Structure 1
């Protein structure tokens, strides 16, 4: 059995287990995609999904940690509720961030912002030196992404209004969430200014409405973000890379895209 250098030592006869906790957890593709990646990597690991009510969340996390799980992931609405459950935050994270992954490392639980990391990596891949980053929305995802841009000394602004003007090819626009956690509404808003941006990022799998793309704009879809987020988390948990094509195929199959 292959083992990661990242997680707490377990007896070799014990199957390493990963989990995702959410409420509701149904509709989350992480287990489906990660199991494909584990099989491809030749790892005899298990991945489980737990539906946990907010009232039981703290107890559930303490229990998962006590059981010696190899890693934990978190879905809505828990990504902003992990501050009391981490012993250390990834050095790339600012104080009080969005935390969606936990992993044990040398006896301590380390929290990371894999959503923010994925978006920053994809934006900087599309626009290597972004001149401006605009995040549409002021919800939990928006704040988590903004906090991660700050760690890279990349200025960004969260806005809750349009139109957007004076965006050039070095700009990135991220369609995030509103304060209630739902996708930031675009209906009735002027979005033409987005067409001059270098890239546009969508975080919701909902097909409409989405940001308009100009002829030179690079589209970063919600699936692109999920693939990068799952791949980074998989590598942190296991110490091994996950094939992006395997994760993408699993995500698209799960959501019937």
Structure 2
């Protein structure tokens, strides 16, 4: 900040921008903390994203939440990125520090935060798209016992399993999911697709001892019912989103946000 009367600003960049809850959530966080910051929602034409991100830096913004369709493009534009961003190929949060753009994948960090302790756990990553790759890389740093990649196509699933084994020295396997695969000797399963994605694992093989993470914001009725019937543990997409926003807030401000308050704010905004 160049003058005490100026507000610090972060923004959300997306196209279309309507319906994105970032500004609403961040303003609630700033208000709760007594923090005189602002968050702006900015709709950016696809061909103008690079100019918009560099413009945010030129205007002295301290960060940007990156929304679709710019998650991949952001990776090429940041000056520094984490290994998780590099492996996943997606950056959903940018911090602007000392004139440089720092790319983060805070969705992967949110999954790790929700699961808390995955050391010596057997994990299935159901999906090898960018989200799945990023989450797999994030969790691999925490030294699980084994990580299995379920994917609907050989690539990038197979190469992801090989890379995780080589770079993180953990046991990895890959299985082609031409139909939903059974969960055998699994502690945690993470469904990485969006609301419309097919499940890659057989719901009838869930057990009480398993923890399921579903990134979909809209609850999947069939998954929720199977989890309830088998008394498994479910972390839904709103839980992950709440932690994601809390991590973004921390990256930008250095402060801690109330995850419960953020979830309630998301539920209010999204009407779920």
TM-aligned CA deviation for residue 92 of structure 1: 6.4
Separation of aligned partners in 2, 1:210 and 1:111: 35
* Correspondence for 1:164 among 174, 181, 190: 181
| TM-score (norm: length of structure 2) | 0.79
Q: Identify which of 12, 28, 38 aligns with 1:46.
A: 38
Counterparts of 2:54 and 2:198, CA distance in 1: 36
TM-score of the superposition, structure 1-length normalised? 0.83
Coordinate RMSD, CA, aligned = 2.4
Q: Which has the higher contact order (CA 8 A, sep 6+)?
A: 1
Structure 2, unpaired ranges of 5+:
153-176
- Which residue of structure 2 lines up, in the alignment, with residue 4 of structure 1? none
Q: Which residue of 2 aligns with 1:192?
A: 204
Superposition pairs of residues 147-226 of structure 1, within 5 angstroms: 147-154=137-144, 155-160=147-152, 161=177, 162-168=179-185, 171-177=187-193, 183-186=196-199, 190-195=202-207, 198-211=210-223, 212-213=226-227, 215-226=230-241
Structure 1: which 5+ residue stretches go unaligned? 1-8
Q: Give, in angstroms, the shift of residue 12 of structure 1.
A: 2.2
Name the CA shift for 1:227/1:210 in 2 (closer, same or farther; >3 Å): farther
Go from structure 1 to structure 2 and tell me whether the alpha carbon gap of 1:77 and 1:147 turns closer, same or farther (over 3 Å shift). farther
Partner of 1:244: 259
Q: How many residues align?
A: 242
**Correspondent of 1:232 among 228, 247, 255:** 247
Tell me the alpha carbon deviations over residues 85-144 of structure 1, each in whole angstroms, 9 at most, x when there is no partner: 21212476555642111112233221111000111221235xx43532222223332222
2-structure distance, mates of 1:167, 1:196:
13
Distance in structure 2 (CA, Å) of the matches to 1:219 and 1:182:
16
Task: Return the match for 2:79 from 52, 73, 87.
Answer: 87
Range moving further from structure 2, 46-55 or 130-139: 130-139
Contact kept? 1:133, 1:172, Cα under 8 Å: yes
The answer (yes or no) to whether the contact 1:93–1:148 under 8 Å persists in 2 is no
